[in-house]
Each structure stands twice: as C-alpha cells, then as structure tokens.
Amino acid sequence: MTFSSHHLRRMFLLMTAGMILFTACSEDDDPAAPVDQNPSAVIAVFSDPHYFDPTLGSSGSAFESYIAMDRKLIAESHALTEAAVSAILSTDANIVIVPGDLTKDGERSSHERFAAFCAQLEQAGKAVFVVPGNHDVRNPHAVRYEGNQALPVASVTEQEFAQIYAEYGYDEAIARDPASLSYVAEPVDGIWVLGMDACRYSENEGEGHAVTGGRLSAATEGWIKARLQEAQAQEKTVFGVMHHGLLEHFQGQKLNPISADYVVDDWARLSGEFADLGMHIVLTGHFHSNDVVEKRTSESFLFDIETGSLLTWPCPYRIMRLNSDRTLDITTAVIENIQYDTGGDAFQDYAYGYLESGMLGLSTYILTSQFGVDEQTAQMLAPVMTEAFVTHYRGDETMTAEAQGVITTLKQAGDANSLFMASALEALFSDPPPADNTLTINLESGMVK
C-alpha cells in the first residue's frame, strides 16, 4: 500500500496530537474526566514572497529598469524564501499559510520552484496552504530578462495553479468552489482553513496587465457563506485566508487612489456578514504591511491580520498559537540573515536602505506625475511620504516631530491637494488598536491584550 504526501502528513499530525495528549496525562489522572475539545495548533504565516526563478535573469538593463520602480527585493527572493523556510522549519508550527503573491509575475517556473519550498515544509510534517495573489495567475507580465530585453515566458492558468499547489490546499480540500480558486481544508480536527480567492485574473488579458484590485463574485461569495454556515453548525474554528484586505488598514484606504486596490470591493458589507457568520480571523497580505485591524458588529467581531511581504523590509513572518482556551497568541519575527551578497551590511540594514531609497524615488514620482506637485514641494514631501509608508510596513506606527510639522504645514496651506495629502499621511501614521506585531486575541469574546 502506498500513501500520498498529504496522507502521510495527516497521519503525522494525528500521531503528534496523540502523543501530546498521552504525555499530558499522568497515572493519577482520572480517565473519565472530561477532555477539553477545543482544537489547538501553531500556525506560521509569511506573505507576498514574490518568488522569482533565478534562472529567468536578475541582471542587465531591463531587469534594473524594472526594479528601479519597485520596492521589492526581487533579486534576493530566492535567498529570502530559503531563509523563511529554514526559520519556520526550526519552529513547532504544524500549519503554514501563505496568503498570495507567491511569485513575481506568475511565471510557471517560479511557481514550480516555490512549490518545491512548500514541499520541504510538508516533508517536515507541516501542513502548507496557499491562495493566489493578483500576480500569480494569467499574468501578461511573466517575463525573463536578457540584457536590455524582457522576453515573455509561460504563466499559469487557474487550473495549472491548482495542479502545481495540489498538495498545498487543493487536493486535500474538503470543499472546492467551482467558480474560483477558493477552498476549505481541515488540517487539524476542528480547524478549517478557508482560502478565499478574490483575484480578477480573468480580466488580465483585456487589461494587458495583472489587475491589482480584488472582488468576490456573487457565486464565490455565496459559496463562502455556505461554508461559514456549515462551520458554525459543526463548531469549527475558521481561519480565513485571502490576498486582499477584508478591512481597511488605515482610514480612507479604499478611497485613496494609491491604496484602493488593496482592499476587496464591498469590504464593509462583506466583513460584517462574514463576522456574523463566525469568521473571527482572516489572514491577508497584498499591501506589504504588518498590520492588524478589527471590526465589531452588533453580533460579532473580525480581525484582519495582514502580514508584511517577505521581500519588503522588515521582511516579517508571524507565529500564531491557537490555545485550547480559545486564545490566539500572535508574535512577529523578521529575517535576520540571508545567503546573498549584501555588500557587508547586516541584512536588516540592507533591506531598510533598499526600501527607503526605493520609496523616496517612488514617492517623488507619484507626487510629481500623479498629483502635479512641483519639484520643490515634492522634495519637501517625499521624505515624509517615504517615512509614512516605511513606518506602516513595520507596524505599530509612531510619528516623528518632523513629519507632524510637514502635515501641519499642508493643513495650513488649505488647498484641496494639500489637505488630501495631509489626511493621507496622517492616516498612514495613525495606528488604532490593536497592536500589530505582538498581541493575544480571545476568540470567544474578541478581547485583546
């Protein structure tokens, strides 16, 4: 008799759970005493790895032109994924979740190589679950770089995505949505991983690029709600997983043209209805920030736990412990070292410098080209705009006196553009509760400490 890897993994998890239960009982324990039935697990999360197959080229003028307008450590993606997998292998996590943008631009070979990293985690007994991001499927920008040329390479269809990641959610699903790449899996008895696909890859060909925004079709929304009703009836603990934010992570995020596409369409209604159907946790990515926000309805609550990109400073990953008392302990770690030439700099310094310089150029470009700001004003605003984004990416934001001074100056100017920019900067610097990097959530009451 032969067993597939996901059957072997399931046996491993059941054996581990059995050993934990056995060692927790002493000879004096009453075998007839009631056993706490609430499930427990340790879940590792890393998001937006944007893995780029090194054989597709990471040098030359075409590649340099691409990364000049990008804040991600694309050339370092192999080393960063390798470091993240190594770090998670050293933890006691038994579930690993990756909320989308698995690849740079959906290159088939990048998917295949990233799936090989998932296999390393599974071989160590860790159940891996992925969902697609906006970069991952039917992407017209899937290319390889040769000198001054960017040459098309094969991307993947939704069917091919499900085949490549068959053992990381799709083949082991207990339910699949026929209208999308959404699914439900139960890696541990009592815990459902509900992967939700809001990506709009069917529109990519017409647009000529990967559509950034997210939207749940009526069919997929109905499918998700039916699964949540089943989970409530069976008293399952649901971890929603979606690439796009289900909540705004700063005030006005969906109204700001720079950030609107990072929150799913109709988010206010969807988040409230999902919360009332028992979804208290959703794990997201997309905006590259390490941020946690909450929503309260008259009946329930929901926390959107966004994990920053592996390729954007501070290059974080999360470890979440679901305890049998229905508390969820969340901690954040960062990648400290990678096998890559950082020019002698400590990796965290290298990553911070890369992000800061890249965001400074990008901020200047946005201010002058999209908002019509003159060069002198852009020189004043770009460092504060950069500071706002970098601080938001890190989480647990604080504002410097210099940034506050610039925002005050913009408010005093009084014109519509200045007031809009002041409001946008203030929103990025503001960090309403709860904390972003270290916190404990009670899944019964919604209380946080």
**Cα(116)–Cα(324) distance, integer angstroms:** 33
- pLDDT value of position 10: 43
The CA-atom distances, in angstroms, between 233 and each of 85, 173, 270, 302 are: 36, 19, 20, 19
Q: What dihedral do alpha carbons 162, 164, 168, 172 form, nearest 10°?
A: 60
Mapped onto helix, strand or coil, the DSSP state of residue 128 is: strand
pLDDT above 70 covers a percentage of the chain that reads 92
- Residue the block writes with tokens 């919360």: 275
- Checking if the pLDDT of 29 tops 50, the result is no
**pLDDT per residue over 183-224, tens digit each?**
999 999 999 999 999 999 999 988 899 999 999 999 999 999
Contact status, residue 405 vs residue 396, Cβ threshold 8 Å: no
**Is the per-residue pLDDT at 329 higher than 90?**
yes
* Distance of alpha carbon 88 from alpha carbon 98, whole angstroms: 12
The mean pLDDT of 268-285, rounded to a whole number, is 98
* Banded pLDDT at 369 (limits 50, 70, 90): confident
Asked if residue 203 lies in contact with residue 197, where contact means CB atoms within 8 angstroms, the answer is no
139 versus 407: the higher-pLDDT residue is 139
User: For residues 365 and 6, which has the higher predicted lDDT (pLDDT)?
Assistant: 365
Question: What's the confidence (pLDDT) of residue 310?
Answer: 98
Specify the pLDDT at position 362.
84
CB 288 within 8 A of CB 212: no
Q: Is the pLDDT of residue 95 over 60?
A: yes
Q: Per mean pLDDT, which range of 18-32, 327-341, 356-370 is the poorest?
A: 18-32
Q: What is the DSSP letter of 236?
A: P
Length of the chain: 449
Give the Cα separation of 360 and 385 in Å (integer): 8
Q: What was the pLDDT predicted at 70?
A: 84
- pLDDT per residue as tens digits for the range 122-134: 999 999 999 999 9
Using CA atoms, how far residue 198 sits from 77, 217, 231, 248, 280, in Å, is 25, 8, 21, 16, 19
pLDDT tens sequence across 254-265 = 998 889 999 999
Percent composition of the chain: helix, strand, coil (DSSP 3-state, to 5): 40, 20, 40
pLDDT, mean of residues 55-78: 93
Separation of CA 290 from chain center: 9
pLDDT of residue 143: 97
Which burial class, exposed, middle or buried, applies to 308 when counting CB atoms under 10 A from its CB (0-12, 13-18, 19+)? buried
If you search the block for the tokens 């990025």, which residue do you land on? 428
- Lowest-confidence pick of 77-86, 194-203, 392-401, 408-417: 408-417
Residue 73 pLDDT greater than 50, yes or no: yes
Element (H, E) at 351: helix 347-365
**Average pLDDT of span 230-257:** 96
Position 11 confidence tier, pLDDT thresholds 50, 70, 90: very low
pLDDT over 90, % of the chain: 77
pTM: 0.90
